[in-house]
């Protein structure tokens, strides 16, 4: 019972964070189209990958999602909106690490991460992120 409750609460928190960030996305869309589209510094992606791998969840599907999401946020999301996305990343890492540490919940984490990936694919299209 507590395993499924923890998984559901993790998914709900993730979806709430994405829903809140979606509103910010709509507000920033005008700012983003007005600003010049400059490329991210070459060091943004390697730094994101190093940070993510240093704090790996321990489930390949989750680690892959977090690395790709973090690279997108650091490379394509405007600076003023990054804090919100980074907060979601921190929450996912923390909660998913807890779930991965428990052998009873680790297996269900694969599904949760795949679901979160599909949700993020849709919400991050506004920033031209592909993962």
* Cα 50 versus chain centre, distance: 15
Signed CA dihedral, 29, 34, 39, 43: sign only = negative
Render each residue's pLDDT in the chain as its tens digit; 131 residues. Answer: 555 544 445 444 454 444 455 444 444 443 443 333 333 333 343 334 434 445 899 999 999 999 999 999 999 999 999 999 999 999 999 999 999 999 999 989 999 999 999 999 999 999 999 88
Beta-carbon contacts of residue 131 (< 8 Å; ≥ 6 apart): 65, 68, 69, 71, 72, 117, 120, 121, 124
Please give the DSSP secondary-structure letter assigned to residue 18: H
């Amino acid at each position: 019972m507590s395993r499924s409750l923890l998984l559901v609460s993790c998914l709900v928190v993730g979806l709430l964070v994405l829903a809140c960030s979606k509103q910010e996305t709509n507000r920033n869309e005008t700012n983003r189209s007005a600003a010049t589209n400059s490329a991210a510094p070459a060091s943004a992606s390697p730094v994101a990958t190093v940070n993510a791998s240093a704090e790996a969840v321990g489930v390949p599907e989750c680690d892959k999602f977090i690395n790709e999401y973090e690279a997108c946020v650091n490379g394509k999301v405007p600076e003023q909106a990054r804090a919100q996305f980074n907060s979601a990343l921190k929450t996912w890492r923390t909660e998913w690490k807890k779930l991965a540490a428990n052998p009873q919940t680790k297996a269900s984490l694969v599904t949760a991460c795949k679901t979160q990936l599909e949700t993020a694919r849709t919400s991050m299209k506004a920033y031209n992120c592909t993962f």
